[in-house]
Each structure stands twice: as C-alpha cells, then as structure tokens.
Amino acid sequence: MTKTDAGRFFEDFRIGEVLRHATPRTVTEGDRALYTALTGSRFALHSSDEFARALGLPRAPIDDLLVFHLVFGRTVADVSLNAVANLGYAACIFGVPVYPGDTLSAESEVIGLRETSSGKTGVVHVRSTGTNQRGETVLDYVRWVMVNKRDSAAPAPAPIAPELPEAAAPEDLVLPAGLDLAGYDPVLAGSDHFFDDYAVGERIDHLDGVTIEEAEHQMATRLYQNTARVHFNLHAAKDSRFGRRIVYGGHIISLARALSFNGLANAFRLAAINGGRHVAPSFAGDTIYAWSEVLGKFDLPGRTDLGALRLRTVAVKDRACADFPYRGPDGKPDPAVVLDLDYTVLVPRR
C-alpha cells in the first residue's frame, strides 16, 4: 500500500464534505519581512508598530493578503494539488487581525461541483475558513478551482453551483477591536487623499510596474506552503500547454495591491474580496502594472471616522495603464489583463 498522496482529483470530492487541513502555521516577524521583500507592500499599518498603536491596536497586524495566502496555502494539498487553474474568489471576509505569534489553521467545505464540457476536468467550489489559536475566524472565503479527473470516463455528479453574494454588505465587515482613527497620520501613511476625496467611477492609474522574477514568485509561493505542482515542477510543466511554470495567482493579487499604494495609500485595511478571477496566466519575466476603479462608497454602522470603498483593481502584464486596459473592441478581456479583482477597503475620513 502506498504511503504517498497524489492529491484529490475531481471525482474524489463530495458535496457537504468537510476537509480539515494539515500543517497549522505560527506566523512570525520573519514571515512579515519576507512578504515585504517579495511584494514591496508599503502600507503603514502593517509596517509600523507605533503607527498601529496610535490607532488603538496592540502592534502592527500581519498584512491582510499574507493572511489570505497562509490560509489558502493550508488548503492546497486537499483542494487544488491537481488543479489546472484557480478560477475565482467570492464572499471573502477578513476577520480579526492576525499578529506575529498567532497560529493559523484552516478547513474547507465542498459546496459546488460541476464537470466541464471536455469531461477531463471539473470545477470544485469550496468555502474555506481560517482560524487562530483561540478559534476566532481570521478569514472566510469561497473559491472555485478547475481540477483534473483521474479517469475521464468516471461518471459526473449532478452539477451544483452555490449562490454567492455580489458584494459584502457594510454591516458584515469586521473592524479590529479598539480601532480609533483619531491618531491617524496621513503623512506617515503616505497620502493626503481620504475617503471623502474619492468619487464613484473614478479611475486611478497606479503608474508603477514590477517584473516577476522566477526565483521570487516561487519563493513567495513556498512562503505560503502552497504545494500546487503548476508553480514549481518545470519537468512536468514543460509538457503542459504553456510549457513553463505558472505564477501563483495570489502573487499577482499581492503585487497589484502593493502597486495600488500609489493612489490608495490610505486604504489601510482590506476588509473583503467580493469577487475576482485570474483572467490569464502570468509567467516569470512578465511586468505587472495595475489600475483601479471606485465602484462604490459606503458608510459603516456607528462610525464617523472611516468609510468603505468598493474597488476594482485590474492587473495587466507588459503594458502601462494610462488608457485603463480592460476589454477590447470585441467585448473580450484585453489580452494584457491577468487579474480582475473586486474588493472592499477601509479608508479614514477627514
């Protein structure tokens, strides 16, 4: 009997099945430093203990997307080890902040299954929940992934697709306990543009670009203990339709978020991911640019010191964003677009 695990294939999933994932992870200052080195993220709240204390927090929390990736990484071995592609995200709410020394665990429930028309793959929807050592939720989200079938002749289950909200409601957003923006310093944060200064429909070209290095994207993915073969195994990838390793889509999200600092530096907390999809794959050598559009502005119950912006951030490769590339004349995504992310951030008011 073999002692190794080849990972789950599409026909191994069952609706309602709960997967408790291995390898809890204690988050350290080293993780924070390496994440910063690999993404260039500059948001002050996650960079400075003193800045965080001025807002009523005990110290600088771990970057929200680092939390996302660490929880995501727990799930890969049971959900997407045999994935063709991670297709999208929805209904993602960031919970209590994570601080160095916290230990994260994760479990997932299978909530949707659908065989694709080729009969060789299927789409699996899971709701994954990350918790800390006290059992508090740090992240709850849905993702769907295309997974290979072990046997293309295996019978397909009845298709089930979950109903998902269009966006997180303001009352569902989680604010860190004790958060008080009376001490918010926009000079230290890097921008004097507050919630009041953004308008629905406004578009922001984040100007800067960053080239993906082969070693860096693999190191970032290893940091999260994401074991998906498509990111690491060149020997296997050379026979795929791309002939090379694919960059973990979450790395593109982190690069886009880091680039968005130029124009959205006061978007200090990522509160929700409403929806998102990896429009096209990215590879080492691609240069990523990003632009954002303000989709909505919301008051938060009981708060007059901050508001929520719903944003769309579009990441493109090897093309600057002065003309905000999104769709071509035929209505299809512009060939340069690699990410379309709809999310909600917290921004201080004046």
151-168: pLDDT as tens digits = 999 998 999 999 999 999
Q: State the CATH number of the domain containing residue 246.
A: 3.10.129.10
Backbone angles phi, psi at 254, to 5 degrees: -65, -40
Q: Does residue 195 lie within any of the structural domains?
A: yes
Asked if residue 79 is part of any domain, the answer here is yes
Q: How far apart are CA 217 and CA 245, in angstroms?
A: 10
At residue 60, φ and ψ (nearest 5 deg) are: -70, 125
Q: What is the pLDDT of residue 131?
A: 98
Give the C-alpha separation, 318 to 341, whole Å.
18
For residue 310, what pLDDT is reported?
98
* Residue 161 belongs to some domain of the structure: no
Indicate the number of domains in the chain. 1
- Residue 174 falls inside a structural domain: no
The model carries a pTM of 0.96
Q: Is residue 130 part of a domain?
A: yes
Average pLDDT, consecutive stretches of 10 residues, N- to C-terminus, the chain (350 residues) = 90 97 98 98 98 98 98 96 89 98 98 95 98 98 96 92 95 96 97 98 98 96 93 89 93 98 98 96 97 97 96 98 92 94 97
Taking the C-alpha atoms of residue 349 and residue 260, their distance in angstroms, rounded to an integer, is 19
**Strand 210-211 and strand 287-299: pairing?**
antiparallel
Beta carbons of 260 and 165 less than 8 angstroms apart: no
Instruction: Give DSSP secondary structure letters for 309-339.
Output: EEEEEEEEESS--TT---B-TTSSBPTTEEE
Name the residue with tokens 């003309």.
Answer: 323
Q: Are strands 25-26 and 103-115 parallel, antiparallel or unpaired?
A: antiparallel
Residue 4 in any domain: the answer is no
Q: How many CB atoms lie within 10 A of CB 8?
A: 20
Give the pLDDT of residue 1. 74
pLDDT reported for residue 246:
94
Q: Is position 47 within any domain?
A: yes
Domain boundaries, position 191: 10-151+184-348
Is there a domain that residue 282 lies in? yes
pLDDT value, residue 27: 98
**What confidence tens digit (pLDDT) does each residue in 242-287 have?**
999 999 999 999 999 999 999 999 999 999 999 999 999 999 999 9
